[in-house]
Amino acid sequence: MRQRPDDGNGLSPLCPPTILKLTLLARILTMIAPEDLVGEEWAEWYRLTPIQRWRESQKLWETYLRLGGSLDPEPDTQSPFFNPHERRARAADGRPGVRVLRRSRV
């Protein structure tokens, strides 16, 4: 049985192109972990299917609304139609709105 020559990367130069591409892709995917690129939290999010992401987003919106968030747009103070004396609904806690909290490292 004749052995195929090896070019040093463990792949034979006589491999069909599709097998070669898949093998190289597999090597690349195993070399770089998603956590190395975007962090654990985002890597976990990227691994979800689109329907799982949709369901998780729905949970986040429910939590936001339960915490007193509003779907009303924030007033645009730069707009020529902005009236600072106009009465607006306040959040349940009396603060102007729900702050955005960072979950990742700074």
In a domain, 23, yes or no: no
Task: For CA atoms 8, 9, 10, 16, give the dihedral sign.
Answer: negative
The count of structural domains within the chain is 1
Q: What is the pLDDT of residues 18-71, one digit of tens each?
A: 666 677 777 766 677 778 888 898 989 888 999 999 999 999 999 999 998 888
Domain-located, residue 45: yes
User: What pTM value is reported for the model?
Assistant: 0.44
Confidence tier at 1 by pLDDT (50, 70, 90): very low
Asked whether residue 54 is domain-assigned, the answer is yes
Range of the domain at 46: 35-69
